[in-house]
């Protein structure tokens, strides 16, 4: 490729151009959905046998119920096998992630209102969660930490992990991350079959209450299909970054642009600026970096199919474009990011200024790197402690409080034609239910 696609926000057809740019296939293909539905059904019906058969077929290793299990001892062995620098970095990241997520803990609360009701909320952790950690094109110990640490902070008692193991290779750094973050047990399986095992359970893998963590389109489709049988965090698509810049070092900005493109051919990088000459300098730097990056072929495919530079007339327009994109990662590489931040409504994680590249958030800034993709930042949030806790409403009402509001509740129940509802209140108030007061 010789150039990156360019758009101008002043063009009359820019909204359609932007729509086309953002339209990326994820897990919507019928072929993917049908394949995944069959896998889920087979694992649900045949348990470990189907799980191992699919692992043999897709990951090319001789899976058995015994050798798929990775216990705490194996994780501890991996912890001691990795380099001291690995342990130091994982320890620092774990502590920073823990410190950040401690602030997300929700607490029980209650109030007593004017009528005498005591109303409140009780917070309880989930019992068991399953973490999906991506594998295949790269190993992601950081994903282990980002999924497991918030669960531990939330108080989840039982945290399980599944991780793909192509050709039976198990990454020690991933297991070391599982060790330090407190994962109780892991399984050397991946793909839609691993999601099925977590959702429905097998003899070896206990069913979980919620599945979290990103994966490929088959994993995403599987999570969509098991939702309702268990909870999920989100449907994660390919990685994304949008960079808004009004100046800065072109080499830095180019590297930031490539930071998501190297993840996957379907990843998307978008650069937004008021300065066409800066775009030229960043584009030149991108192609210089590509000559040395080991994953250049992946990055080139991403840029060719999904990358773009967008020229805007001012920063207000830049913010408007960002809000349409609703990116997973947003860098405000501008001199006054605090002035621009109030205009940003939709983004998964926002990186402020010239010294906060997205990669900090991937590893050890503290906030979670499991983020909404595919424009879902318009209505969803990063993974956090709140994803591993649930809320129960608490209602306490005495006789006097019921007398204040009970007759109105009876009226509403009657109007809905739900007379047994009304009766529960009328008996306590020693009054009659008017069965002629139903809906008309």
| pLDDT of res. 311 | 98
Find out whether 161 and 194 touch, Cβ atoms under 8 Å: no
pLDDT at 437 over 80: no
Instruction: Give percent of the chain with pLDDT exceeding 90.
Output: 90
pLDDT at 295 over 50: yes
Q: With cut-offs at 50, 70 and 90, classify the pLDDT of residue 438.
A: low
| pLDDT of res. 101 | 98
Structure tokens that stand for 175 in this block: 């297991």
Window from 164-168, 220-224, 237-241, 356-360 with minimum mean pLDDT: 164-168
265 and 189 in a common domain: no
Any domain includes 388:
no
Any domain includes 410:
yes
| pLDDT of res. 167 | 87
Residues in the chain, total: 440
Neighbours of 210 (CB within 10 A): 22
Neighbours of 274 (CB within 10 A): 19
Any domain includes 120:
no
Q: With cut-offs at 50, 70 and 90, classify the pLDDT of residue 28.
A: low
pLDDT at 439 over 60: no
| Residue range 170-199, pLDDT digits in tens | 899 999 999 999 999 999 999 999 999 999
What is the enclosing helix (H) or strand (E) of 111?
strand 109-112
| Residue range 262-274, pLDDT digits in tens | 998 999 999 999 9
Strand ordering across the sheet containing 308-311: 6-8, 308-311, 268-273, 240-245, 329-333, 349-352
The last residue of one of the domains, among 365, 385, 418, is 365
Q: What is the DSSP secondary structure assignment for residue 195, as one 8-state letter? A: H
412 and 268 in a common domain: no
165 and 34 in a common domain: yes
Query: Long-range contacts made by residues 424-428, C-beta under 8 angstroms, separation at least 24?
Result: 428/399, 428/402
Which CATH number do you get for residue 11?
3.40.50.1980
Any domain includes 349:
yes
CA distance linking residue 163 with residue 32, whole number of Å: 20
Tell me what the mean pLDDT of segment 306-329 comes to: 98
Catalytic option among 329, 354, 358, 369: 329
CA angle 328, 217, 135 (to 5 degrees): 85
| Residue range 335-350, pLDDT digits in tens | 999 999 999 999 999 9
Find out whether 364 and 96 touch, Cβ atoms under 8 Å: yes
The last residue of one of the domains, among 325, 344, 365, is 365
| pLDDT of res. 435 | 72
37 and 15 in a common domain: no
255 and 215 in a common domain: no
108 and 201 in a common domain: yes
3-state secondary structure of 382: coil
Any domain includes 387:
no
CA distance linking residue 89 with residue 97, whole number of Å: 12
Find out whether 73 and 224 touch, Cβ atoms under 8 Å: no
Find out whether 285 and 318 touch, Cβ atoms under 8 Å: no
CA distance linking residue 234 with residue 224, whole number of Å: 9
Catalytic option among 185, 240, 328, 358: 328
**What does R_g of the chain's alpha carbons equal in angstroms?**
26
Q: With cut-offs at 50, 70 and 90, classify the pLDDT of residue 432.
A: confident
| pLDDT of res. 139 | 76
Tell me what the mean pLDDT of segment 285-290 comes to: 97
220 and 107 in a common domain: yes
Q: With cut-offs at 50, 70 and 90, classify the pLDDT of residue 10.
A: very high
Q: Report CA 277 to chain centroid distance, whole Å.
A: 36
The last residue of one of the domains, among 315, 342, 365, is 365
| pLDDT of res. 440 | 47
Please, what is the average pLDDT of the chain? 94
Tell me what the mean pLDDT of segment 205-229 comes to: 95
Any domain includes 382:
no
| Residue range 147-159, pLDDT digits in tens | 999 999 999 999 9
Window from 131-135, 191-195, 321-325 with minimum mean pLDDT: 131-135
60 and 199 in a common domain: yes
Any domain includes 117:
no
| pLDDT of res. 384 | 97
Neighbours of 255 (CB within 10 A): 17
| pLDDT of res. 134 | 86
Tell me what the mean pLDDT of segment 37-59 comes to: 96
| Residue range 75-125, pLDDT digits in tens | 999 999 999 999 999 999 999 999 999 999 999 999 999 999 999 999 999
329 is catalytic: yes
- Number of structural domains, the chain? 3
87 and 151 in a common domain: yes
3-state secondary structure of 440: coil
Provide the residue range defining the domain that includes 143.
30-112+130-234
Tell me what the mean pLDDT of segment 384-392 comes to: 97
State the DSSP string of 407-438: HHHHHHHHHTT-HHHHHHHHHHHT----TT-S
What is the enclosing helix (H) or strand (E) of 161?
strand 158-162
282 and 343 in a common domain: yes
Any domain includes 440:
no
CA distance linking residue 147 with residue 414, whole number of Å: 48
Tell me what the mean pLDDT of segment 19-47 comes to: 88
| pLDDT of res. 137 | 53
Find out whether 407 and 429 touch, Cβ atoms under 8 Å: yes
328 is catalytic: yes
Neighbours of 97 (CB within 10 A): 26
| pLDDT of res. 169 | 86
Q: How far is CA 350 from CA 54, 67, 198, in A?
A: 39, 42, 32
Q: How far is CA 177 from CA 111, 141, 142, 190, 371, in A?
A: 42, 6, 7, 17, 20
297 and 346 in a common domain: yes
242 and 230 in a common domain: no
């Amino acid at each position: 490729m010789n150039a990156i696609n360019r758009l101008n926000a002043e063009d009359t057809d820019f909204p359609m151009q932007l729509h086309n740019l953002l339209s990326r296939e994820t897990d919507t293909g019928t072929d993917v959905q049908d394949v995944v539905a069959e896998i889920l059904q087979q694992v649900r019906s045949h348990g470990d046998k189907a799980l191992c058969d699919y692992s043999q077929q897709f990951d090319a290793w001789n899976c058995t119920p015994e050798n798929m299990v990775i216990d705490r001892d194996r994780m501890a062995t991996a912890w001691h096998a990795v380099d001291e620098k690995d342990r130091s970095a994982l320890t620092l990241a774990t502590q920073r992630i823990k410190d950040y997520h401690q602030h997300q803990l929700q607490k029980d609360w209650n109030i007593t209102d004017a009528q005498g009701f005591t109303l409140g909320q009780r917070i309880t952790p989930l019992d068991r969660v399953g973490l999906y950690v991506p594998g295949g094109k790269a190993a992601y110990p950081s994903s282990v930490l980002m999924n497991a640490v918030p669960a531990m902070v939330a108080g989840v008692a039982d945290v399980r992990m599944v991780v793909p193991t192509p050709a039976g290779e198990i990454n020690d750094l991933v297991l070391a991350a599982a060790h330090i973050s407190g994962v109780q047990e892991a399984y050397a399986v991946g793909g839609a079959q691993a999601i099925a095992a977590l959702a429905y359970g097998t003899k070896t893998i206990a069913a979980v209450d919620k599945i979290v963590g990103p994966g490929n389109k088959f994993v995403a489709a599987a999570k969509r299909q098991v939702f309702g049988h268990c909870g999920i965090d989100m449907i994660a698509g390919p990685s994304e970054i949008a960079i808004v810049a009004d100046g800065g070092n072109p080499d830095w900005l180019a590297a930031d642009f490539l930071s998501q493109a190297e993840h996957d051919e379907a990843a998307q990088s978008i650069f937004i600026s008021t300065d066409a000459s800066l775009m030229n300098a960043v584009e030149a730097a991108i192609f210089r970096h590509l000559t040395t990056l080991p994953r250049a072929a992946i990055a080139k495919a991403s840029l060719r199919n999904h990358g773009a530079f967008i020229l805007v007339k001012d920063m207000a327009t830049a913010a408007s474009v960002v809000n349409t994109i609703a990116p997973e990662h947003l860098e405000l590489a501008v001199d006054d990011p605090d002035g621009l931040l109030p205009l940003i409504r939709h983004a998964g994680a926002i990186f402020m200024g010239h010294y906060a590249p997205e990669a900090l958030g991937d590893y050890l800034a503290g906030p979670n790197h499991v983020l909404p993709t595919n424009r879902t930042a318009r209505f969803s949030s990063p993974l956090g402690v709140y994803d591993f806790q649930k809320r129960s409403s608490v209602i306490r009402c005495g006789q006097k409080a019921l007398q204040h509001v009970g007759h109105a509740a009876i009226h509403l129940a009657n109007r809905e034609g739900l007379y047994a509802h009304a009766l529960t209140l009328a008996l306590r108030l020693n009054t009659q239910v008017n069965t002629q007061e139903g809906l008309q």
